[in-house]
């Protein structure tokens, strides 16, 4: 009997490499013999291949909203699924879920499907007020996919599950709440407090409008007007395939400020957190569970985050950090001033953030939860595997789970 085969479908190979390699370990533990990644190839495929994953290039045309582009993608994926006949197809993020899900339903081979939501992104309103009209159509299609008893839903925060449940019924026994992508606490050790002056803030992430970097820049003006000296380090690069990247002219203008340094995309994120005293995640919404937030927390850095899905799942106001309304530079400035004025508070929050990660948001937690999902699906579909039992399942609508 051949060993089970799993295909991961994601838009970009770099996204899989930076966030989802723990899933490969989970698949191996569940007994997978062959693992394939279908994604755009942008330079991370060789590093992924070292983990025993075969990369199959698929042109996702991520920036395109053309129905013809989506049809081409669906046909490419359908051919891949027919040719490979996988036991499990694991779709990561909305475009692979929608287009890949349709392609899989047209494939001949029987398989289980995992639909992995990493945030609702542009399918929701600016401040996560609810699904847009396009988002509601996408959600209804996913709800239809989940009627298949061989399907599974992965979420990173309870808000996303609640938004979906307002569209249609979720399969309560086939939903798992993950601790985001998880973080390796040894790769992001607890650095000693960075209490040098001026106080250093850090933003790490893609430079797109939804991340709220422009709001943070406006907050810096208010902090300076209050007489507090701080410095902001920006680590990241614009995403040209996103509908609303940060404009290069804005980045150049901000970089000319004496209180801002733009470092570009960083190859040493842990080093960035070592230099920072406070991590700021000023997101407007659409998040799953920001990886940069988990990495900063693992590094024992206090957090200032916005009150949006994902961020508010991890940070408890006054414990691991401070929560402020999204798109509110005045509130963000007040939070920066509060932490700037209290060294002891920063240290207590940093230690609590590190412990929060260790209590449920490490990559080992993700591996354990995903091993249980893969094993159960392989057993139910006859795919084999080591099959140690069903493992834990958590409800997306209640918000309960290992790392709630």
Four-CA torsion 160, 96, 167, 68, nearest 10 degrees: 140
Distance, in Å, from the CA atom of 271 to the CA atom of 285, rounded to the nearest integer, reads: 27
CATH number, domain containing residue 265 = 3.40.50.2000
* 394 has pLDDT over 70: no
Report yes or no on 386 lying in a domain.
no
E strands, 107-173, are 112-116, 151-155
* 306 has pLDDT over 70: yes
262: left (phi over 0), alpha (psi -120 to 50) or beta: beta
From 276, 312, 309, select the one nearest 295 (Cα to Cα): 276
Q: Are 196 and 274 in contact (CB under 8 A)?
A: no
Q: Are 288 and 308 in contact (CB under 8 A)?
A: no
Report yes or no on 377 lying in a domain.
yes
Give the contacts of 289 (CB within 8 A, at least 6 positions apart): 156, 157, 178, 179, 180, 181, 310, 313, 314, 361
* 391 has pLDDT over 50: no
Average pLDDT over the chain, rounded to an integer: 90
Give yes or no: residues 370 and 323 share one domain.
no
Report yes or no on 189 lying in a domain.
no
pLDDT in tens, 311-347: 999 999 999 999 999 999 999 999 999 999 999 999 9
Distance, in Å, from the CA atom of 335 to the CA atom of 316, rounded to the nearest integer, reads: 14
DSSP 121: G
Give yes or no: residues 247 and 164 share one domain.
no
* 396 has pLDDT over 60: no
Task: Work out the angle at residue 288's Cα, subtended by the Cα atoms of residues 280 and 129, and round it to the nearest 5 degrees.
Answer: 90
Q: Are 10 and 20 in contact (CB under 8 A)?
A: yes
pLDDT in tens, 57-74: 998 876 667 788 889 999
Question: What is the mean predicted confidence (pLDDT) over 224-244?
Answer: 92
Give yes or no: residues 163 and 293 share one domain.
no
pLDDT confidence of 133, banded at 50, 70, 90? confident
Give yes or no: residues 121 and 155 share one domain.
yes
Report yes or no on 394 lying in a domain.
no
Give yes or no: residues 216 and 134 share one domain.
no
Give yes or no: residues 12 and 56 share one domain.
yes
| Secondary structure of residue 8 in the 3-state scheme | strand
Give the contacts of 64 (CB within 8 A, at least 6 positions apart): 70
Work out how many domains the chain is built from and give that number: 2
* 255 has pLDDT over 50: yes
Question: What is the mean predicted confidence (pLDDT) over 306-312?
Answer: 96
Helix 158-165, helix 133-145: angle, nearest 10? 90
Distance, in Å, from the CA atom of 361 to the CA atom of 340, rounded to the nearest integer, reads: 27
* 386 has pLDDT over 90: no
Give yes or no: residues 85 and 230 share one domain.
no
From 176, 195, 189, select the one nearest 271 (Cα to Cα): 189
Give the contacts of 357 (CB within 8 A, at least 6 positions apart): 183, 185, 294, 297, 298
Question: What is the mean predicted confidence (pLDDT) over 285-297?
Answer: 95
* Domain boundaries, position 31: 5-182+362-381
Give yes or no: residues 78 and 50 share one domain.
yes
Helix 213-225, helix 329-340: angle, nearest 10? 60
* 198 has pLDDT over 90: yes
Report yes or no on 396 lying in a domain.
no
pLDDT in tens, 213-229: 999 999 999 999 999 99
Give yes or no: residues 177 and 203 share one domain.
no
Distance, in Å, from the CA atom of 353 to the CA atom of 267, rounded to the nearest integer, reads: 23
Report yes or no on 264 lying in a domain.
yes
Give yes or no: residues 94 and 230 share one domain.
no
Question: What is the mean predicted confidence (pLDDT) over 256-264?
Answer: 95
Give yes or no: residues 175 and 305 share one domain.
no
Give yes or no: residues 136 and 157 share one domain.
yes
Question: What is the mean predicted confidence (pLDDT) over 33-49?
Answer: 94
Report yes or no on 404 lying in a domain.
no
Report yes or no on 11 lying in a domain.
yes
* 389 has pLDDT over 50: no
């Amino acid at each position: 009997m051949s060993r089970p085969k799993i295909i991961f479908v994601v838009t970009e190979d770099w996204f899989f490499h930076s966030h989802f390699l723990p899933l490969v370990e989970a698949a191996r533990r569940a007994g997978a013999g062959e693992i394939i990644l279908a994604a755009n190839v942008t330079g991370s495929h060789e590093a992924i291949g070292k983990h025993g994953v075969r990369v199959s290039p698929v042109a996702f045309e991520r920036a395109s909203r053309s129905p013809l582009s989506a049809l081409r993608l669906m046909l490419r994926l359908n051919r891949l699924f027919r040719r490979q006949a996988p036991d499990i197809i694991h779709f990561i993020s909305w475009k692979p879920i929608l287009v890949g899900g349709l392609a899989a339903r047209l494939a001949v081979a029987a398989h289980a499907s995992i639909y992995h939501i990493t945030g609702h992104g542009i399918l929701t309103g600016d401040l996560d007020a609810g699904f847009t009209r396009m988002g509601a159509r996408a959600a209804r299609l996913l709800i239809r996919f989940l009627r298949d008893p061989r399907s599974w839903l992965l979420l990173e925060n309870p808000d996303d599950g609640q938004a979906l449940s307002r569209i249609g019924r979720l399969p309560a026994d086939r939903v798992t709440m993950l601790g985001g992508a998880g973080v390796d606490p040894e790769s992001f050790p607890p650095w000693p407090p960075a209490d040098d002056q001026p106080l250093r803030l850090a933003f790490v992430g893609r430079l797109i409008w939804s991340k709220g970097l422009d709001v943070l820049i406006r907050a810096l003006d208010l902090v300076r007007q209050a007489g507090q000296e701080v410095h902001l380090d920006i680590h990241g690069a614009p995403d040209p395939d996103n509908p609303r990247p940060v404009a290069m002219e804005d980045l150049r203008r901000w970089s000319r400020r004496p209180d801002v340094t733009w470092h570009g995309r960083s190859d040493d994120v842990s080093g960035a957190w070592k230099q920072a005293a406070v991590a700021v995640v000023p997101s407007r919404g659409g998040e799953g569970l920001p990886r940069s937030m988990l990495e900063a927390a693992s590094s024992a850095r206090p957090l200032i985050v916005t009150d949006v899905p994902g961020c508010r799942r991890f940070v408890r106001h006054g414990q691991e950090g401070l929560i402020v309304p999204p798109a509110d530079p005045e509130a963000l400035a007040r939070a920066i001033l509060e932490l700037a004025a209290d060294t002891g508070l920063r240290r207590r929050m940093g230690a609590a953030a590190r412990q929060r990660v260790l209590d449920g948001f490490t990559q080992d937690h993700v591996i354990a939860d995903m091993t249980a999902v893969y094993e159960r699906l392989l057993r139910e579909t006859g795919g084999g595997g080591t099959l140690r039992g069903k493992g834990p399942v958590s409800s997306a609508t209640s918000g309960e789970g290992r790392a709630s």
